[in-house]
């Protein structure tokens, strides 16, 4: 979809539950391979494209007292409805409304090594996938596939079906909306992903997410939302949890018994640690415990390699 210049600009401020530090979000994104190349970043400015109801919008966020300043760009007039949708997506993307006070209080009495991870990431709110379309497609692409291959496939989908906008001479590409992908059959997907199983799953996931609706997945009881997702062919336990956690910000459940969580837990708490103790301690904040654990350990690995 052809790139155009952006003559429309809207500015404003979004509040954030404190403490919040946009710079920690940007540092996280710099190491987040699933979204590599999807945004332009400086130390304290993040610029990214989103598609909303067929319209490409580029948003730029920077630190502000109590939140973030934002600038929206588009080649078309930005209606109040589009403005509000984009701002809602920014809020969700950066988890601006998440209150981390209780999580920080709980982590202070946890294992000293985990408490140090939290201190090093102070002010970090979860950075989510920007849209449910993106996390749904990524959940399939990343199944039993090296991250560099999954990322390349995701980039191909963005370039083929997404919307492009040029702002200040820089081209930004928005991941396609579910409605941009719903016409694709499994045969169409094979031409993109070169894998029959993934092609079938992608067609099913797009149709399934459109049928379920994002609001239902965000608001239904967690068990019901999980069961609904797992009825979609290609969505298993881990993919369902990823969509709810990393796509919709539902922080009250983590599949702790799965290998990637078990391995990370062992690095802090030791082998054989009782996961029920973590559930009892963190309760509805368990997702933030997992996010800080993985992000903190990733940062330590990066430091060791530098």
Query: Does a structural domain hold residue 2?
Result: no
Q: Calculate mean pLDDT across residues 268-288.
A: 93
pLDDT in tens, 151-199: 999 999 999 999 999 999 999 999 999 999 999 999 999 999 999 999 9
Q: What percent of the chain has pLDDT over 90?
A: 88
Domain of residue 15, CATH code? 3.30.310.20
Query: Does a structural domain hold residue 66?
Result: yes
Q: Which are the contacts of 297, defined by CB distance < 8 A and separation ≥ 6?
A: 117, 264, 267, 268
Backbone angles phi, psi at 59, to 5 degrees: -115, 140
How far is residue 247's CA from residue 171's CA, in Å, rounded to a whole number?
25
The total number of structural domains that make up the chain:
1
Query: Does a structural domain hold residue 289?
Result: no
Backbone angles phi, psi at 69, to 5 degrees: -80, 145
pLDDT band with cut points at 50, 70 and 90 for residue 302: low
Q: Which domain holds residue 60?
A: 8-98
Q: What token pair was written down for 204? A: 């099913």
Q: Which are the contacts of 281, defined by CB distance < 8 A and separation ≥ 6?
A: 106, 110, 289
Query: Does a structural domain hold residue 291?
Result: no
């Amino acid at each position: 979809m052809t790139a155009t210049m952006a003559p429309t600009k809207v500015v404003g401020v979004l509040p954030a539950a404190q403490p919040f530090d946009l710079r920690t979000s940007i540092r996280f994104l710099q190491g987040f391979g699933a979204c590599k190349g999807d945004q332009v970043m400086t130390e304290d400015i993040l610029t990214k494209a989103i598609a909303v109801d067929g319209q490409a919008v580029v948003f730029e966020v920077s630190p502000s007292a109590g939140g973030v300043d934002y600038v929206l760009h588009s080649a078309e007039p930005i209606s109040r409805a589009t403005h509000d949708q984009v701002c809602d997506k920014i809020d969700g993307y950066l988890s601006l409304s998440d209150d981390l006070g209780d999580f920080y209080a709980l982590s202070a009495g946890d294992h000293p090594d985990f408490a140090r991870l939290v201190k090093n990431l102070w002010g970090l709110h979860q950075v989510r996938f920007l849209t449910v379309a993106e996390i749904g497609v990524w959940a399939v692409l990343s199944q039993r596939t090296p991250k560099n291959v999954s990322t390349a496939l995701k980039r191909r989908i963005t370039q083929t079906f997404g919307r492009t906008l040029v702002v200040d001479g820089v081209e930004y590409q928005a991941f396609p909306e579910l409605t941009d992908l719903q016409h694709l059959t499994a045969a169409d997907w094979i031409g993109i992903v070169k894998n029959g199983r993934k092609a079938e799953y992608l067609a099913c996931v797009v149709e399934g997410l459109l049928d379920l609706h994002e609001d239902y997945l965000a608001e239904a009881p967690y068990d019901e939302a999980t069961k609904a997702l797992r009825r979609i062919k290609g969505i298993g336990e881990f993919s369902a949890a990823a969509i709810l956690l990393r796509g919709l910000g539902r922080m009250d459940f983590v599949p702790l018994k799965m290998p990637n969580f078990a391995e990370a837990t062992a690095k802090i708490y030791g082998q054989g640690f009782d996961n029920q103790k973590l559930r009892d301690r963190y309760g509805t904040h368990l997702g933030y415990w997992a996010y800080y654990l993985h992000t903190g350990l990733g940062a330590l690995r990066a430091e060791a390699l530098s």
